[in-house]
Homo-oligomer: A and B are copies of this chain.
Amino acid sequence: MKAIAEFTIIPIGVGVSLSKYVAVCEQILEESGLTYELHANGTNLEGEWDAIIQAIKACHEKLHEMGVPRISTIVKIGTRTDREQTMAEKVASVRAESESKDSR
């Protein structure tokens, strides 16, 4: 089952700067082979449901190993059977709607 997802991982109990931990997760994603893109409020992911979830779980495990005592993660995950759709196509659909409106 293909999915498009986003996750935001919040390490708790390790102070106010979290970028070090997010960078470790990016490394895990890089090695996962999934399509991903970091943005200001999380990381978008595209691929098989199991591979996506496995990568997020690996982030939790790695961060706990690094000494993070508590982690809170928010995941958005979407699946559809009506058609295949990539992350790029989702954004392009909205852009196309905006342009058709602008040209009216």
**Contacting pair B76 A77 (CB below 8 A):** no
In this complex, which of A10, A94, A95 has the most chain B Cβ atoms within 10 angstroms of its Cβ?
A94
A42 within 8 A of B: yes
How distant is the Cα of A60 from the Cα of B81 in the complex, in angstroms?
Answer: 11
Which residue of the partner chain B has the closest CB to A81?
B64
Give the number of copies in the complex.
4
Q: How many residues of A contact B (CB 8 A)?
A: 58
Known: A12-B16, A82-B13. Contact between A74 and B71, CB under 8 A? no
A80-104, CB < 8 A from B: 80-82, 87-88, 90-91, 93-98, 101
**Contacting pair B97 A79 (CB below 8 A):** no
A5 within 8 A of B: yes
A1-52, CB < 8 A from B: 1, 4-6, 8, 10, 12-13, 15-20, 22-23, 26-27, 37-42, 44, 46, 49
**Contacting pair B98 A41 (CB below 8 A):** no
**Contacting pair A16 B70 (CB below 8 A):** yes
